[in-house]
Chain A
Amino acid sequence: QKEVEQNSGPLSVPEGAIASLNCTYSDRGSQSFFWYRQYSGKSPELIMFIYSNGDKEDGRFTAQLNKASQYVSLLIRDSQPSDSATYLCARALGSQGNLIFGKGTKLSVKP
């Protein structure tokens, strides 16, 4: 099993702050990376994906990928209490590869 590692948290940030979620992976063949958000009792929902080194921004979310260091991160700007959830990092080998998920980081945004 190719591992995807995440700090389980909980990560607690005040409302309005930047939340930084990190993920490392061991398989250098991984080509695409995904961030999902999962609220308690619900299924995951896709936030964004990233294939290339560097940053990718979408609204308040920025994904950062560094293939040389084998890590991918997700920044959430202006965090809101509604962002409180578990964030799952996943990687795939190529466009046809299955997703391998990390165990998720629980984020708590305090009002």
Chain B
Amino acid sequence: GAVVSQHPSRVICKSGTSVKIECRSLDFQATTMFWYRQFPKKSLMLMATSNEGSKATYEQGVEKDKFLINHASLTLSTLTVTSAHPEDSSFYICSPREARTDTQYFGPGTRLTVL
């Protein structure tokens, strides 16, 4: 159980384009979804928290208009990096929290490279 999928696993794009990352909890319902970012050799940094059907809450320093989060259902959340720039290149990881046990799991991550 507790299978999380994230798509795409890797994306390379040009500066200025938008990238959409999709996260699905395949065998459980997630009332809360966390999105993290991790730069090389650095710790996980929480970007935002979203509850199903509600607007996301962003951490300090994370631009809500740049990182659009949609948590439309208990099994699907998306993160869109708008007008990506090279400094947005990072490893983005979704983390759904299982409603039944309050346990937080992680998706396999999306490695974004912006040229």
Q: Are B102 and A88 in contact (CB under 8 A)?
A: no
Q: Are A99 and B104 in contact (CB under 8 A)?
A: yes
Q: Are A42 and B109 in contact (CB under 8 A)?
A: yes
**Contacting residues of chain B (56-115) with chain A, CB-CB under 8 angstroms:** 91, 93, 95, 102-109, 111
Q: Are A43 and B107 in contact (CB under 8 A)?
A: yes
Q: Are A104 and B106 in contact (CB under 8 A)?
A: no
Q: Are A46 and B93 in contact (CB under 8 A)?
A: no
The smallest C-beta distance from A13 to any residue of chain B, in angstroms, reads 21
A92 to B49 CA separation, bound complex (whole angstroms): 14
A104 to B43 CA separation, bound complex (whole angstroms): 7
Give the residue among B2, B34, B102 with the most A Cβ atoms within 10 A.
Answer: B102
**Mostly helix, strand, loop or mixed at chain B's interface?**
loop
Number of A-B pairs whose CB atoms are under 8 Å? 41
Q: Are B103 and A102 in contact (CB under 8 A)?
A: no
By size class, the interface of chain B is: 20 to 34
* In the complex, A103 has a CB within 8 A of chain B: yes
Select which of A45, A92, A96, A102 is within 8 A of B106 by beta carbon. A45
* In the complex, A101 has a CB within 8 A of chain B: yes
* In the complex, B44 has a CB within 8 A of chain A: yes
Residues of B within 8 A of A (CB): 2, 32, 34, 42-44, 46, 49, 91, 93, 95, 102-109, 111
Other than the known A43-B93, A88-B44, A99-B34, what 12 A-B pairs have Cβ atoms closer than 8 Å? Answer: A41-B91, A42-B108, A42-B109, A43-B108, A44-B106, A46-B104, A46-B105, A49-B103, A88-B43, A95-B102, A96-B32, A103-B43
